[in-house]
Structure 1
Amino acid sequence: RRWIGAATLALLVVSGGVTLAAPAAALPDTGSVIVPSGSDTELTFETDGTVFHGSVRTPDGQTRGAALLLPGSGISDRNGNQPGIAVSDVLSRTADVLASHGIASLRFDKIGAGATGLGAYTPDTIGEYGFVDQVDHAEAAAHVLSERTGIATDDLLVLGHSEGGLTTLALAERGIGGGFGLLAPLPMRYLDLLRSQVEGVAESGRLDAADADTVRRELPRTIESIRATGTVPADQDPLLDQLGFNAYNAKFLQESDRMDPPVLAASLAADTPVLLTCSEKDLNIGCDQVAPLRAALGHTDLQFEHFATANHSLEELGPVPPSSADMPLLLPPSAEYTAALHTWASSI
């Protein structure tokens, strides 16, 4: 499968070849209901030859702030959804909560997704799309939101989910944003996280013995090649291509891997409002992996939330064990995340 950008490999590998089944019992009523708030207006903006399509959420009452909402990896649309995965609407649900606190927001379909589509790229040139381009597009969106609301770009809130957390920190390095939401974020260098995820799958028995041996043998060489040259080895095993380490993703991976989230976080101004989350039931990113990022944010006005029942998409699992079966299920929003976002938004 061809992926635009670097799809989080836990989603690719853990779900690959697995027969998915719904839990035997329905999820309990967790009270994790988000009430729709505000109204959406369609918006387009052009940058780098691409017309981006998005939605501006306007609060019902007075607007007292504005937030840019950024999705995770892969072909993610303005609501944080990907083809073939159940609708989580993590970003539109976030917009609902923010609007209830008088905070307007902008979310948009990234390259490859929704109404934006491939934009200026083609299937043959998509390998030229890199992480720097993704940050450039998010910066352009921040300026559009600032013009729309009259709130300066350095006073905007920027909230990013998963890979969007890295984009959020990259915007902060450019002086965009005065408060940040790092929602189940990428907490370490990108290729280190992908190495951990793929090696974990190999050790878990989800791959047959031959494929697991291939991963152990080939992955270090592929990562070294991407870091050094922005390309994958010409003779690498096709399995690595299937896992996302391919020519279409190599530039994106090299550019994103140059950024170290704890280093970026340490450079934020003192007392910057930050919301950071992790969850025990997140199969993509562990709370232990988030710990160095949390430590690097110690000088900020940090609200750290360690969830117990949310999955990576910030949906509610309740007592159900996390598994790859989460992806095709329509789950309610995480009650823990909803409460945490309300608390943070009310304090801004």
Structure 2
Amino acid sequence: MEKEIKLDVSNGSLSGTLIVPDNIEKPTIVLIVAGSGPTDRDGNNRLSGETNNLKQLAEQLAAHNVASLRFDKRGVGKSQSATIPENQLRLQTFVTDVLSWVRYLSESDKFSKIFILGHSEGGLISIEACQKLKAAGLILLATPGRNLANILQDQLTQQLSGQEEWLQRSIQILDSLKNGNLVPQVPVELETLFRPSIQPYLQSILKIDPVIELTKLKLPILLIQGTEDLQVSVSDAELLKQAVPTAKLAIIPKMNHVLKIVPESDTKANLASYQQPDKPLSSELVQKILNFLNTEDY
């Protein structure tokens, strides 16, 4: 059974898709939390591409009798009524939304266990949320193990190769934000990432050390990372594993950031998969998640 769900929150309502397998009394359910930017319930983002990866994941879970709820982020898709000004957004805004969805699922009393699954920045949101809720377990897909400043600096070093002036200016802005200072004047060339209206949100993430936050949790954790991820590295997953040795870690060969299998060291093919919604998910990814969900006495 697939059902559209609307949840009242501050400033409007959030919309999501609930999939419940037929003829299963009180199934396990996975709440799927999308990554950064204007990403919808299906994992699609008007800036980075149409992948359908979260929709595919929900369908794969349903095929194995696992329920799921995935939702449009505040201000995206059918959750646009909950839009708030960009300069008022904080990571905590999305954490609160996850807590609201978990409360909805808990109060429905229709599910035996509630797992939280976060992808990329959605993993950071999920880590923060799990400090304030009771969940059966946490699944982190392609989730950073370092502070955002370190990850952005790595990405900018690659993207701005040969453009030393813009790279140094970007690093200066990052340092200012991390030290609690806003930067009102940003070069036009850097506004996409550092526009003044997004800076308070960036600051809210820059305060977070994923390793420290993860150690605060007392629940089963599954870490999954692909070797061909252009945004988050295997070393990020290993840092999280080192922080919580009881966590399970799965490294999936040839899987990229959008959870698809791509050729090794082929950036063009890797990025092309961000625009290939029919390209299937990694089958190993799905199996690792199912194994974790079905593990007794973790």
| TM-score normalised by the chain length of structure 2 | 0.90
Which letter does structure 1 place at the counterpart of 2:281?
P
1:66 and 1:54 mapped to 2: Cα distance?
Answer: 14
Cα distance, 1:240–1:84 mapped onto 2, change above 3 Å: closer
Q: CA deviation at 1:101?
A: 4.1
2:66 and 2:272 mapped to 1: Cα distance?
Answer: 34
Which letter does structure 1 place at the counterpart of 2:188?
P
User: Identity over aligned residues, as a percent?
Assistant: 23
Contact 1:101/1:345 (8 A) holds in 2: no
Deviates further, 319-328 or 170-179:
319-328
Q: Report matched runs for 1:68-107 at 5 Å.
A: 68-83=31-46, 85-107=48-70
Q: CA deviation at 1:230?
A: 5.5
Q: Residue 252 of structure 1 aligns with which residue? A: 201
Secondary structure of the structure 1 residue equivalent to 2:196: coil
Q: Residue 307 of structure 1 aligns with which residue? A: 252
Q: Residue 282 of structure 1 aligns with which residue? A: 229
Q: Residue 235 of structure 1 aligns with which residue? A: 185
Runs of 5+ in structure 1 lacking a partner? 1-38, 204-208
Larger RCO of the pair (alpha carbons < 8 Å, separation 6+): 1
Count of residue pairs the alignment pairs up: 292
1:181 and 1:88 mapped to 2: Cα distance?
Answer: 20
The yes-or-no answer on 1:44 pairing with 2:2 is: no
1:136 and 1:164 mapped to 2: Cα distance?
Answer: 13
Which letter does structure 1 place at the counterpart of 2:168?
R
2:54 and 2:276 mapped to 1: Cα distance?
Answer: 18
Deviates further, 47-56 or 332-341:
332-341
CA RMSD between the two structures: 2.1
Cα distance, 1:94–1:230 mapped onto 2, change above 3 Å: farther
1:55 and 1:88 mapped to 2: Cα distance?
Answer: 17
Contact 1:98/1:345 (8 A) holds in 2: no
Contact 1:316/1:335 (8 A) holds in 2: no
| TM-score normalised by the chain length of structure 1 | 0.78
Q: Residue 217 of structure 1 aligns with which residue? A: 168
Q: Report matched runs for 1:26-37 at 5 Å.
A: none
Contact 1:311/1:322 (8 A) holds in 2: no
Cα distance, 1:214–1:159 mapped onto 2, change above 3 Å: same
The yes-or-no answer on 1:294 pairing with 2:241 is: yes
Which letter does structure 1 place at the counterpart of 2:207?
R
Which letter does structure 2 place at the counterpart of 1:315?
K
2:30 and 2:155 mapped to 1: Cα distance?
Answer: 31
Q: CA deviation at 1:178?
A: 2.6
Secondary structure of the structure 2 residue equivalent to 1:235: coil
Bigger helix share: 2
2:181 and 2:49 mapped to 1: Cα distance?
Answer: 32
